[in-house]
């Protein structure tokens, strides 16, 4: 019998196959070592996380966090309700003002008379006119509804209302 082995019937040197398998084995060995190192690092992290905890204490921690989330959600809703109530109060309060000082009676000295316009978010409110004279001080009030009055306004009152409305 002659040399009739399968390796001899290939058209190339079988050492190439052996060298290829050796490279493949080396790559597999390096990959295995890398996987083992990563596994050990991950296990250390897991061990550190779970140290001193068993399944029951971990479950308690999760339940406590869920309760805290519910509590915070309720607090958030209460805060939002309070903010809405405060917004309503702010809109109902006087936010816009216009002030004009003037001399009601020429020759009497000084701008002791004044007009104040106080308006809310809907441009409703009042105009106060304080007229100072030698005989005394007189205070007049006029209602303002949506930026308008039913009573005729004096020049100073118009100016104060326009300042409150933002026209000046």
Instruction: Say if residues 80 and 64 touch (Cβ distance below 8 Å).
Output: no
C-alpha–C-alpha distance, residues 114 and 100, integer Å = 6
What's the predicted TM-score (pTM) here? Answer: 0.53
How do the pLDDT tens digits run along the chain, 168 residues long? Answer: 455 567 667 777 778 888 999 999 999 999 999 999 999 999 988 887 777 666 667 788 889 999 999 999 999 999 999 999 999 888 888 889 999 998 887 766 678 889 999 998 889 999 999 998 878 888 999 999 998 899 899 899 999 999 998 887
Residue labelled with tokens 């009042």:
126
**Both tokens assigned to 122:** 């809907």
């Amino acid at each position: 019998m002659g040399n009739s082995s399968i390796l001899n019937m290939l058209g190339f040197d079988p050492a190439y196959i052996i060298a290829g398998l050796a490279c493949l084995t080396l790559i597999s060995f390096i990959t295995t070592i890398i996987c083992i190192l990563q596994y050990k690092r991950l296990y250390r992290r897991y061990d550190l996380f779970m140290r001193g905890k068993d399944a029951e204490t971990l479950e308690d921690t999760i339940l406590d966090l869920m309760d805290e989330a519910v509590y915070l959600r309720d607090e958030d809703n209460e805060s939002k309700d309070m903010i809405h109530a405060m917004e309503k109060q702010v809109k109902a309060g006087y936010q816009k003002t216009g002030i004009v000082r003037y001399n009601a009676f020429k020759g009497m000295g000084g701008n002791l008379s004044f007009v104040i316009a106080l308006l809310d978010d809907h441009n409703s409110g009042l105009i106060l006119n304080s007229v100072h004279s030698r005989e005394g001080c007189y205070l007049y009030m006029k209602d303002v509804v949506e930026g308008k009055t039913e009573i005729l306004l004096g020049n100073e009152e118009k100016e104060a209302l326009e300042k409150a409305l933002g026209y000046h």
